[in-house]
Amino acid sequence: MKHIFLNLKRFDIPKEYGGVNSIAPIGEWGSFIVSNTQEQLKKYAGEDVEFAMYFPEAHLISAAGALCEDSPVKVGCQSVYRDDTAAHGNFGAFTTNRTANAAKAIGCTTTIIGHCEERKDKAGILAEAGVTDTKAVNRLLNQEIKKAVSSGLSVLYCIGESSEEQERWKEVLKEQITVGLEGVDKSLVTIAYEPIWAIGPGKIPPDKDYITMIGTYIKEITDGCDVVYGGGLKVDNAEMLASVPVMDGGLIALTRFQGEIGFYPEEYLEIIKTYMGH
């Protein structure tokens, strides 16, 4: 199966507040994106491809509410809490935290966990206590993944190495996978590889050979999990990524990196068209 994921991060913030949203009023942003893409994505209904969009929490209800009958779009949240509600247990006193059951009730069917920004946040909290422990970060992510899966959500699990870790990338990725996915049904998980060392202005992205090497390694140690490129699927690299046999798709974020920077539904559809070859 091919997978085209969309991580919308905080692209909803209007420009007057320092954001990049110019496509819709804040209250209509989530529904606008779903409504302006789902019908066009139906053209791929006969192909083995999944489309999932991960929204900031404020937009989950409107995005899920905009899904039409037989919509090809899956609405997802950006990670879940490591604990959850349970019958005859805690009924929901998780102030400030989004549980997997809450996401499921809203209408989500998938979640993204372990994005480099989430990993950085967890590592930063540990650092405040004077602790540097990547295994602890992966154990926390493992708890989130287990709660997501138990609630019926599929998981896009992000892994990747920083520039400081690049020389020992095998060791880093193996730890993230073995600890993060311990005790997890991998059939419900897709892996996104984020080359953290290559993300950002002026950075040189990995080439086809490097991506092939990484994808091959991940499949070997996960017993064949689907793997997508999480370093940014764009029009510029869509054909190249589509030609890498061991990669099963990509993760889109921004669609425009110059001028009116931001996410635009018509450009998102163009990226998919380029990747799919039609």
CA torsion sign, 41 to 42 to 48 to 50?
positive
Q: In terms of C-beta density within 10 A (0-12 exposed, 13-18 middle, 19 or more buried), how is residue 13 classed?
A: middle
Candidates 73, 69, 35; CA nearest to 54 is 73
**Interatomic CA distance for residues 215 and 2, integer angstroms:** 14
Residue of 3, 115, 118, 161 marked active site? 115
Contact between 113 and 52 under an 8 Å Cβ cutoff? The reply is no
- Helix or strand run (H / E) with residue 157: strand 154-159
Burial 219-238, CB ≥16 within 10 A → b, else e: beebeebbbbbbbbbbeebb
In degrees, rounded to 5, the angle at the alpha carbon of residue 199 between the alpha carbons of residues 13 and 168 is: 140
Q: Which amino acid is at 141?
A: L
List the catalytic residue out of 118, 144, 161, 194: 194
88 is annotated as an active-site residue: no
CA distance 119 to 122: 5
Output b/e per residue, 93-116; b: 16+ Cβ within 10 A: ebeeebbbbbbbebbbbbbbbbbb
Phi/psi at 194 (nearest 5 deg)? -105, 110
194 is catalytic: yes
Integer Cα distance of 50 and 190 in angstroms: 11
Question: What residues are annotated to the active site?
Answer: 115, 194
